[in-house]
Each structure stands twice: as C-alpha cells, then as structure tokens.
Structure 1
Amino acid sequence: MSRYCLKCGKAKKACICSWIKDINTDIELIILQHPTEVKRAKGTAKILLLSLANSQCFVGENFSNHSDLNLLLEDENAETFVLFPSENAQLVSPKVCNKLDLYRKVRIILLDGTWKKAFKMYQLSENLHPLPCLSLPKTMSSNYKIRKAPSENSLSTVEAGYQVLKILQPEQDFEPLLDAFDAMIEFYINQLPDGVFQNNYSSER
C-alpha cells in the first residue's frame, strides 16, 4: 500500500485532506510551480488546489512555450494578472475587478517557489512580461513558521492566494484556506523534538 495520500500527495500521516473545505470563487488562480516545490512536504500550493475548484497548477521554470498556459493567456474573455512585485506592479484592490467588463473573467497567476526561484521563473517566462503585475501590501506578515524566509512579509503561496482573494472578493469567506494552513503548520511543529522549533525557527521571525 502507498505511504502517500492519493488526493493531496502528502504522506498519509501528514495528509491535509481533513482540513480542506470547498470554496467557491469567480476568480481563477493559476499556480506556476517550480519543480523543486512539487514533492516538498511543507508546500502550501496544494491547499489552494484542493480548496478552489477554479484553480490549476503547471510545473516548470520557463513557461514561455508552455502550450496550456499560452492557451489561457490567449483567451480574450479573461483578464490575467501576475502576482509579482515588479517596478510597475499595482497594489491589489477591488478596483482590479471593478474596472473589468462584466463578461470577462479574472485570472491571477501565482509563482510557487522561493523568492530567488520565483524571480528566475518570472525573468525566464517572457509570456508573463506583457501581463499587468499586482503586489500585496508590504505590511502583511506570514505565519509560515516552519520554513525559513528572507523577511517577515514573505508569504507562503496559500497565504498570498488567500490575501489576493480576500481583497478582490471581500464578501466571500476564504478563512478555511488559512485554517488548513495553520493546522498543517501545527502538525509539523508537533512532530519536532522538544526545543527544535524554538532553536531553529522562532528566533528568525
């Protein structure tokens, strides 16, 4: 028998499926995942994919010639944004949706990887460069206590997705995303020997 859950892909003892709740949203999330994140046990993109029917994931580093992604980008009935803090990025706000034609869909592309890898993915993927970029307020802080981050406001993929959706659709309840995330964090902390978390993680945040 497999040691891994067939649905979430994580080890059965670390299965996140029981924490997942289905959430409806009109906004489509496209996750571009770096290959090194695919089998990372502490990765959070899977929470978004399992919770949001209106989401999908493509794996790679250079998506310039990615046929499925390019097909989506050619869709004239959708407006696509990249969550990436470029020089011309606009702050995420409900105006992003309000300015769009009522018959157009909104797609948000998230880059799933460390900041260094996400930066490289964006630089290599020339098809992303013409798309408008969005950024989140720098005052936001992360609860990703089990992975090292370059700064307090470095959000995990699920946290970034949650914040974008919450801002663009404030009438919708996206809290179950964070509930699943927090439960996963606590599970991994509880697996650590006494004192390991405090010594290796908590002092860095």
Structure 2
Amino acid sequence: MHSLSLPPARPAADHAVARLRAQRLARSSKPFVARGSRAERCAGCRVIASHCLCDLRPRVSAESGVCLLMHDVEALKPTNTGWLIADVVERTSAFGWTRTDVEAGLLEQLADPRWQPYVVFPGEYAAPHRVVSEVQVEEGKRPLFILLDATWTEARKMFRKSPYLDQLPVLGLLPEQLSRYRLRRSKRDDHLCTAEVAALCLELAGDQQAAQALDAYLDVFTAHYLGAKRHLPVDLQDELHRRLQAFR
C-alpha cells in the first residue's frame, strides 16, 4: 500500500461548479462545514488534503456539453459529483436552481442554436411525447445534457417546477448497472449519482473516452474520499488507479 504524503496547497479549481460554489459561499451567513469532518480540504478536489487527487485528474476531450442545474447547497458538498463532471468535461456549465428565479445565462444556453438540449430524467415522470431513449442531434449542433443535481426528492420538485424545461426532450435512461456510488445513501439501488448519469449520457452521445474517464475518476475519487474519512491509505498502484492512468 502506498500512503499519500501531504501535498502542497492547491489553488481552487477554475470551472463552472467551482465558481458556483464560490458564489454560494459568498451568500452564506456562516461557514459551510461538511458533516462528519472539520479537517482541511484541498481547494482543488475537496478531499481531505492528505488524500488529494488533483494530480490524477483525467485529460480527455468531449464533443458533448453538460449543464448542471444545482439545488441550493449541492455545490458546497464535498461529496457532490457534479464537480467531477466539470473536471472532466470542458463544456460544463452550472447554475443554481430556485423555484421563483432562473438565471439569464441558463436561458441563453438553452436557446443557443449550437446546442441540442436534453433534460435527463426518468421518462415515467414526463409526457410520453417528450421522452426519447437515443441521442440524435442536427448537423452543426452538439448534445447538451441538462442534469438536475440534487437529492431524488429535490430533483422531482425541480423537474415539476421548472417551466423553461417543459418544451425540451427528456432523455430517459434505463441503466443496467446498479449504482456504484458509496458516499451517500439512497433508498433505491437504481438511483445513480450525477457523475454516473453524465457518463451514461456521454456514452450515448458517442463520447466513449470521456464516459470511461469519468467512470474511472469517480471510482478513484470515492476511494480517496473514503480512505481519508476512515484514516486509511490508498494504493496508487491498484486497479482503480491504473484504469484512471490511461486517461492522463
């Protein structure tokens, strides 16, 4: 086993989720402290500094884009996997969701003719005529996957109360695998975390390498996060890390 030495301080990540997190922190009346730990976290990956994985971030390209619509404190949670998506998929945008307001930037992106938006949500909650199971884009456009980043209860509310999404097609995923995400508990094993959903979308869009890299990155992130939480070293030469190494 290879334990991790304490790395030098990392600058905060520069992507849409990191910027949304900074905006949300600026509005907070008191500091946000992750449940169960007050240890110093790396600003680049949000993992406790002793288990930083910034140097393991994959480098891949993707034609697709991801638009994260994030419920209130999601961007603040160190377990949030939307951050991983933004690390991997360059064309990731992130917007905070409220019931009464919608950011102008989100509406502009949805109306941008360069994108073909899909709301990614179980088809059983949408009118049948909106539901699609394949990704098909017109020439000159790129697929844009809109992910509701929240707990399952919150996501259902967001889907119902976001009228600006009502005219968009709904990509209903039917994943065969059960969720591998071990950082939060779900009452249903078929509920996937946001990064798993994004990886499935990328695969459907033909961005195979990005999909595989995101899956591998999620596994390594989970190993580092849980290792730090349990005060255990991680093995930088194990199968998970070797799989991720292929995308660097």
TM range (shorter): 0.7 to 0.9
Q: Number of paired residues?
A: 190
Say which of 189, 192, 202 aligns to 2:230: 192
| Residue 58 of structure 1: aligned partner | 95
| Residue 178 of structure 1: aligned partner | 215
Following TM superposition, by how much is the alpha carbon of 1:134 offset from its aligned partner in structure 2, in angstroms? 0.6
Distance 2:155 2:205 in 1: 23
Give TM-score scaled by structure 2 length. 0.68
Matched residue SS, 2:108: helix
Distance 1:8 1:56 in 2: 18
The answer as to whether partners of 1:16 and 1:184 remain within 8 angstroms in 2 is yes
Following TM superposition, by how much is the alpha carbon of 1:13 offset from its aligned partner in structure 2, in angstroms? 3.4
Alignment of 1:1-205 (within 5 A): 3-62=40-99, 65-85=102-122, 86-87=125-126, 88=128, 90-93=131-134, 96-97=135-136, 100-169=137-206, 171-190=208-227, 191-192=229-230
The answer as to whether partners of 2:52 and 2:224 remain within 8 angstroms in 1 is no
The answer as to whether partners of 2:47 and 2:224 remain within 8 angstroms in 1 is no
Following TM superposition, by how much is the alpha carbon of 1:183 offset from its aligned partner in structure 2, in angstroms? 1.4
CA RMSD for the aligned pairs? Answer: 2.4
Question: Cα deviations across residues 127-153 of structure 1 (Å, max 9, x unaligned)?
Answer: 011111011115331101221112111
**Identity rate of aligned residues, in percent?**
22
Distance 1:138 1:180 in 2: 19
Which one-letter code corresponds to 1:92 in the other structure?
S
**Which one has the largest radius of gyration?**
2
In the superposition, relative to structure 1, how do residues 136 and 34 fare at CA in structure 2: closer, same or farther (>3 Å)? same
Which one-letter code corresponds to 2:168 in the other structure?
L
Distance 1:178 1:46 in 2: 13
Distance 1:173 1:79 in 2: 19
Which one-letter code corresponds to 1:124 in the other structure?
K
The answer as to whether partners of 2:133 and 2:172 remain within 8 angstroms in 1 is yes
Matched residue SS, 1:174: helix
Question: Cα deviations across residues 61-98 of structure 1 (Å, max 9, x unaligned)?
Answer: 337532000011121232111001133353533xx22x
